[in-house]
Amino acid sequence: MKTSIKLFMPFFTPVVVLLLMTSPAFVQSQPTGVNNITVTGVSTIYQGDLALARDQAIDDALRKAVEQSLGMWLQSESVVQNYVLVEDNILSWTHGYVKNYNIISERQQPDNVYEVTLNAAVETAALSQARDMVESILQKAGNPRIMIIMNEQNIGEAYNRFQFFQVDMTQAETTLMEKFMEKGFEVVDPATVRASIKREQALAALEGDSKAAAAIGTQLQADVVITGKAIAKMVQMKILGDMKSCQANLTARVVKADVGTVIATGSEHAAHPHIDEISGGLEAIKKAANKLGDNLIEKIIAKWRDEFYNKTTVKLRITGVEYTDLNAFKGILSTYFRGVKKVHQRNFAAGTAELDVVITGNANQLSRELERKKLDDFQVKITRVSSNQITLKLNRVNQAQQFVPVDTTQQY
């Protein structure tokens, strides 16, 4: 269920900026300096609120300035022709690259339209510093599969803890799935999830049990599991007349399936006016889920980027090992393996040990190093590798020559 990533977009999110950097045309001619661009932004005046319309027109103009600045370095017609629209949720990013702007003119147009023309100084030098690319990070992270399970309660629906199993997928799941697929992630079909897992296991995961979520992910070969809730409610507002203000709140957490640790959380709110409360509730959930998707994707990518380029913790599960051999192997890991920063022993019982190995890189790199490096005293057999965990069997080659780390702090 993977879709190709489109590279040219009229609206940009922080993640999309990184996607743009994957364009060969952009890489070949990276922008430097500052572009001064004159643009016009417009906004609809709602209920006579000129101040709000003015702010929105300025935001529209700034988005156009950034779009034009990036477009100057996108020369490939195939890139330009394959643009897609992205959620209008980029104000903070836009301001991050607009150094300053001057308003040239502004006026109220007929048909309740407010128009602002301004000159924006887009700091293109800052764009060239964004070298970490989403596609690259996804590849280095092993092209992880995402699983999404969201419980949903729309307006007019009584709370039902089994609601999750009564639909093929919720509105929140559908929207989040489309958002992640749009960015190039592989997503497990929610209908497949419902057909394959136990009810109590799913309910526990939806209530925030990270271990239950991790077990579901492992069962269906997902690397990351997103669980959460979506609740829509109606707020009566006289100013809307027959329209109803439908509001939605979404919360979610992101769990690494192989180790059960939470790597990101998020919550979003959205409102949508509608004459029909059920339809309005679904639209509000959709809007909130779009914002939540952008939020989570940005956090997940940032987490993976930090783990790959700085440090991450890989769980090492060692079977068939004596305690003295474990101490010796810990010393070898710390001393002779490139990229290993620290080794922490978590537990040891009945010949099985669990270590947390802090490394620069990822589990695949460490597993290749363990398998290929020739050790004088031990033979390593890798039995399982996931994104964040390695299982191996350790055999001593030479019982007569045991390597034991020397305590250099001991005084004689």
Mean pLDDT throughout 123-147? 56
On the CB side of 377, CA atoms within 13 Å amount to 17
Residue corresponding to tokens 């979404």 = 250
- Domain spans of the chain? 14-127, 134-303, 312-396
Residue with the larger pLDDT of the pair 101 and 75? 101
User: Are residues 290 and 175 in contact, defined by beta-carbon separation less than 8 angstroms?
Assistant: yes
| Residue 399 pLDDT > 70 | no
Residue with the larger pLDDT of the pair 108 and 23? 108
Residue 34 pLDDT: 84
| Residue 26 pLDDT > 60 | no
CA distances from 150 to 258, 281, 309 (A): 20, 16, 32
Residue with the larger pLDDT of the pair 126 and 216? 216
Residue 98 pLDDT: 77
Architecture of the domain delimited by 14-127: 2-Layer Sandwich (3.30)
CA distance 4 to 83: 12
User: Are residues 175 and 397 in contact, defined by beta-carbon separation less than 8 angstroms?
Assistant: no
pLDDT digits (tens, 9 = 90+) for 61-86: 987 887 777 655 443 333 333 233 22
- Using DSSP, state whether 53 is helix, strand or coil: helix
Which is nearest to 135 in space by CA: 237, 241, 20? 20
How far the first Cα of the chain sits from its last, in Å, is 65
Residue corresponding to tokens 């799913």 = 202
* Domain 134-303, CATH class in plain words: alpha beta
Beta bridge partners of 126: none
Token output for 68:
């034009």
Beta-strand pair 34-44/98-109: unpaired
Which is nearest to 187 in space by CA: 199, 175, 198, 197? 175
Mean pLDDT throughout 375-379? 84
The radius of gyration of the chain's CA atoms, rounded to the nearest angstrom, is 26
pLDDT digits (tens, 9 = 90+) for 348-372: 998 999 999 998 777 877 887 787 6
Phi-psi bin for 128: left (phi > 0), alpha (psi -120 to 50), beta? Answer: alpha
| Residue 141 pLDDT > 50 | yes
CA distance 8 to 72: 11
CA distance 123 to 69: 9
Residue 91 pLDDT: 33
CA distances from 58 to 40, 108, 145, 363 (A): 8, 13, 39, 47
Residue corresponding to tokens 């969201």 = 150
CA distance 146 to 223: 6
SS (H, E, C) 336-378: HCCCEEEEEEEEEECCEEEEEEEECCCHHHHHHHHHHCCCCCE
Residue 406 pLDDT: 42
CA distance 326 to 319: 10
- Using DSSP, state whether 312 is helix, strand or coil: strand
CA distance 177 to 147: 9
Question: Binning pLDDT at 50, 70 and 90, where does residue 289 land?
Answer: very high
Which is nearest to 145 in space by CA: 252, 227, 256, 230? 256
| Residue 191 pLDDT > 70 | yes
**CATH for the stretch 312-396:** 3.30.70
325 alpha-carbon distance from chain centroid: 40
Mean pLDDT throughout 248-262? 91
Token output for 318:
């060692």
Specify the pTM: 0.53
User: Are residues 274 and 243 in contact, defined by beta-carbon separation less than 8 angstroms?
Assistant: yes
Token output for 295:
């939020």
Residue 82 pLDDT: 29
Residue 71 pLDDT: 59
Token output for 263:
């790597």
| Residue 344 pLDDT > 90 | yes
Mean pLDDT throughout 275-302? 92
Beta-strand pair 113-123/34-44: antiparallel
CA distance 127 to 73: 11
| pLDDT averaged over every residue in the chain | 77
